[in-house]
């Protein structure tokens, strides 16, 4: 997972954070414009896919 803050377009603009997930086994990736979108994706993904215990 990567997250980064995008530069402000104006001094009054709120900070924008972006998120990216990547599966290192397949190289597949997903990008998100908000933490809420990332959270929704992870909830859905974990409910519909078996995740191996470590």
Per-residue pLDDT, 51: 62
Residue 54, C-beta contacts closer than 8 angstroms, at least 6 positions apart:
none
53 in a domain, yes or no?
Answer: no
Number of domains observed in the structure of the chain: 1
Query: Which residue range(s) make up the domain with 31?
Result: 2-47
**pLDDT level of residue 16 (50, 70, 90 thresholds):** confident
Asked whether residue 28 carries a pLDDT value surpassing 90, the answer given is yes
Residue among 39, 42, 35 nearest 19 (CA): 35
Check residues 1 and 53 and name the one with the higher pLDDT: 1
Half-sphere exposure of 20 (CA within 13 A, CB side): 8
30 in a domain, yes or no?
Answer: yes
54 in a domain, yes or no?
Answer: no
């Amino acid at each position: 997972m990567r997250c980064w803050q995008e530069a402000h377009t104006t001094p009054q603009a709120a900070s924008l954070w972006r998120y990216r997930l990547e599966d290192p086994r397949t190289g597949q990736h997903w990008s998100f414009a908000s933490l809420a979108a990332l959270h929704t994706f992870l909830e859905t993904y974990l409910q519909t896919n078996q995740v191996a215990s470590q």
